[in-house]
Structure formats: C-alpha cells, structure tokens
Structure 1
C-alpha cells in the first residue's frame, strides 16, 4: 500500500501508544482515526484494505470526485461531507476543498483529494497536546477547524470589496469593473458552498445530543453561529457589490449621456452651416459670387457669425 495514501493515523484509545500509519491501518477492533488521500487511482481498493470494517457504499462516497456539503445518518454510521477554504500555497481560498468524514462512533475515516489545512492543524494540535480523543471529538474538531479557517479569507474578501468601493468613489484609474465582477464571482462561489455547509452543521447538531454529547453540541453550535455570520457577511457583500455595480453602470450611463449631449450641440451648430455650404456647393449656373475673389471670405465670415449666434443662443438657454 502506498505510503502517501494514509496521511495520518492514530489510536483514539488512551491505552494505546502512538504508532506509524502502517502499523495502525487495518485494525478492526481498535478505535482509530485514519486520514487518507483518495485522489489517486486505486484509492477505493487501498481504503478497503486499510478499513475492512467499512462497506463498499461508504468507501465509494469517500472517494467520490464531486461532493456538496451534507450529512447522512445510516443508523450506526454517519457520513459527513464538508467544504473548506483552500489554504494551500499559491491557491485561491474560494477554490474550496472537500473533506469527507465517515464514523461509526468508534472509528473515524477522513478523506481528501487535495490538502485540507484544517486537518493538518488538528493533527498538529493532537501531536502537541498528546491527549487522547474520542471519535466524536475528532469529527467535531474537524468541523470546527474548517469553519475557523474561513474567517481570514472572508475577512480579506470583505476588505477588498471596501477598497474597491473607496477606489470607485475617489475616481481612481483602473479596471474597476473587471475587479468588481471578479469579486462578485468569488462571493457567489463561496456562498454556494457555505449555505449547504450551514445545513450540514445543523444536521450534525441534531445528531450531537445522542452521538456526540453535550460538549460537542455546544462546540458545534458555536461554530454554526460563526458560519451563519460568514453567510450574513457574504449576503451583505453581495448586496454591496450589486449596489457598486449599479453605481458603475449609472456612472457609465451619465458619461455616455454627457458625450451624446455634447455631440448633439455640435451637430446642432453645424447643421445650418452644413446646409449653407451644401447649397453654395451645387454645380449649377447662376451661383452668386462665382466670379468674385472676395466671395469666399464673405461666406466664411457669414458661417462664423451664424456659429457665434448659435453658441450665444445655446449659452443663454442653459444648454452648457
């Protein structure tokens, strides 16, 4: 079995000492937590060997390529699908990563297709504390860590939206419209997964009383409140971006109207001048001034006088 398949493994029983992942895998009777990577081909077969107590349907669910946050109760087994921010280097946080968790109350199997930093943080905390944990504590801690990691990226997103609004109000140069559309897309994408995440956490709270205990229920409720605030912030951000979008469209419309207004004034000025020059330009006999060397200057002066009279008229009428 590939060493990269099992990322971490630990006993959940205080009577056991820590062992390497290869020593822990395949233990049927012992309470353990396995965190595995199911991105590679053959992950289902490897998972079946590492956790023979799981049935094929649960293995298939943990290895699924596309998932949305939800919780399924199978009586004595639970399947929990969560989504977290992508905190990997050079990755966009809104490119959310999936964490799949299965537990029968004794064993916990968590699976990822891309690295989930929330899991790494929990592993480091458990190593540092060296305290025994139960299966329910692992499940709740994973959910809490994933929600906790959302605060930073969402806070930065809200700051970017505020900076965009300030830049728009100050009239700073730049492709503000493109930036606004990018932020709108990010907000909608994150919210798309956070709403079902809230429902999943609510379902998990419903199971918490009997399966996870009062302490876990309180932790989940607290994490659920944070998640609800994140969704409220995203809803407010979406409305703010919509308002900014409408303001930008209004500004563009105003600019276009001003340009059209200017063109209308110019066209109004040159309309009679164009008529006059067109009339004098027809190639027929009897045109006045055809043999007069000063006729051009009389016509040019007349056109200038007409233009000046029109400008004075428009100015007096408040056109500009």
Structure 2
C-alpha cells in the first residue's frame, strides 16, 4: 500500500499522482523500494532534505523541484517557501514534501474531479497556483516599503526594524523565485510527449509571473537598502545638530565659568570683596558677556546650521 495519498488508476492511458510526506518513515521505505520503477537519481532527489528549484530531464521523465508558500498549520523556523520534489513521467507523478505546502489540497480535489490528464497538466497547475499565492505577498512587501518611504523623517528611526524585515524577506523569497522561473522555462522547452502545448503556455505564464516577482523583490531589496542609508543619514544629521547646540551652550558659559571661578576663589586680596554691590556687578557683567557671545553666534548664523 502506498503511504500518503494516491489519486488515479494504474494502467495504460491512466494517470496517477502519488504524494508522500517526507517525515513519514513508511514513505521513505516505499521510495527506497526499487520495485516501483523509480530511477536511482529520481529517488535521491525525492529524499534530499534541502533543495532549490530546478528542472532536469532524465530518460523519458523529468525531475523538477518547486517552492511555494507553506501551509498555515506549519509553524516553527525555516524558510517561508517550502519545497516540493517531483518525479514526473508518462502516466505517473510522484511528489514529496517535508512540510505542508498551501494549496495542495485544492489540487488534490481537482485531480479527483479528473481535471488533470497527465503530469504536464498537474505541474502547470501547481506552478500557476504558487504564482497566484505569492503575487499578493510580494506586492505587500512593496507596499510596506512604500509606507516606510512616506513616513520617513528625522523622528522615524523605529522604521529601521520594518525596513530590515522587508529586506530580509525579499532576499529570502528571491533566492528561490529566480531559479524557479528558470526551472519552469526549462521544463516548457522539454520535448516530452506528455507535455502538451497548453501546458507549455501555462508554464511560460507562471515563469513570466515569477520573473516579475523577482524584479519586484530586487526593487524592494534596493529600496530598503536606500531607505536604511537615508535613516542613518537623518540620525547622523540629528546628532550633529544636537552636538552643535551643546557646543554653543558650552561656549556661551565658558567665559562665565572663568569669571565665576576667578571671583569665587577663597583668597585674600580680591577687589571689592566686601562692597555691597559687588555681587550684582559680577552678575550683570556675566549676563552681558553671555548675551554678547549668544548675539555673536546668532550673527554668524550658527543657530541655523
């Protein structure tokens, strides 16, 4: 008995889809059984833990790995885009995933209804569905960067966390979307009799959508880097402005500190030490010196820098 799910009847002119959970030991033992007719290279690809999107023809079949959004029930660490490994040949498609991918249940229902007549139909539908799921996610990343650009000011240093997250997500997605486009384009060019013209059209359509997503992700990455630099410049400018104010205040009080320190010495001989107006005279002199230094800074336009 095949672990996972099997849809379709075995026999001439029939098409079966066998999907396995890579975390199931019984599924792994089923793949290792040579009696199922899987080529060794295909078995190795289906059991590989880490993969990247690719397409490799092998005999009369094809090995193709794709990445799509993970199911909402899948939690924990790891890439947002989960991998599905596929071996396709006339009459049979075997797929393995180590984490649940969003949308596979929809494809399973369509397969039950008889919408897919060969592996080309199923792979094309899978590629289009992944593109449909990822389009709004990539668009949302662009909107997040747009919002950060509109909110950018000297008081919005907290935006750095949002920008860094958007940039990190864009880099993570682009790492898989670019080779996925190349894999779909390569599959559309394969001369296999079970890949029909309609399948090629759908594969090229999905590849084009992935190409546009890759361009958008690259734009998000570059715009995020530019925004981060602008925020850093704004922060440096704000620090410089505050440092200038502190320097001006320090320079204003520097001569006053000298005067108060000079007349505050506890030694004999200070002129007018016992005169009743000495305190007010020193205070008035200090105020005049401070006001004079402040007016000089104002005339030199230091307060506007």
Query: Does TM, scored on the shorter chain, surpass 0.5?
Result: yes
Distance of 1:132 and 1:318 partners within structure 2: 77
Q: Does 1:38 align with 2:22?
A: yes
State the match for 1:316 in structure 2: 299
User: Residue 243 of structure 1: which of 201, 226, 232 is its match?
Assistant: 226
Q: Higher mean Cα deviation, 271-280 or 177-186?
A: 271-280
Alpha-carbon RMSD: 2.8
How far apart are 1:289 and its partner, in Å? 3.3
User: Residue 124 of structure 1: which of 109, 113, 125 is its match?
Assistant: 109
Q: Normalised by the size of structure 1, how large is the TM-score?
A: 0.84
State the match for 1:234 in structure 2: 217
User: Residue 88 of structure 2: which of 100, 103, 109 is its match?
Assistant: 103
Q: SS state of the match for residue 207, structure 1?
A: coil
Cα gap change, 1:111/1:124 in structure 2, threshold over 3 Å: closer, same or farther? Answer: same
How far apart are 1:142 and its partner, in Å? 2.0
State the match for 2:152 in structure 1: 168
How far apart are 1:155 and its partner, in Å? 1.8
Distance of 1:236 and 1:247 partners within structure 2: 16
Q: Normalised by the size of structure 2, how large is the TM-score?
A: 0.87
How far apart are 1:184 and its partner, in Å? 0.9
Distance of 2:240 and 2:16 partners within structure 1: 69
State the match for 1:185 in structure 2: 168
Q: Does 1:155 align with 2:134?
A: no
Cα gap change, 1:208/1:294 in structure 2, threshold over 3 Å: closer, same or farther? Answer: farther
Distance of 1:161 and 1:181 partners within structure 2: 10
Q: Which has the higher contact order (CA 8 A, sep 6+)?
A: 2
Q: Higher mean Cα deviation, 299-308 or 286-295?
A: 286-295
What whole-Å deviation, never above 9, does each CA across 1:81-100 have from its counterpart, x for those lacking one?
11112242586996111011
Gaps of 5+ in 1: 16-29
Q: Does 1:287 align with 2:285?
A: no
State the match for 2:251 in structure 1: 268
Q: Does 1:75 align with 2:59?
A: yes
Distance of 2:210 and 2:115 partners within structure 1: 28
Checking the alignment, whether the CA contact within 8 Å between 1:83 and 1:96 is kept in structure 2 is yes
Q: Does 1:112 align with 2:97?
A: yes
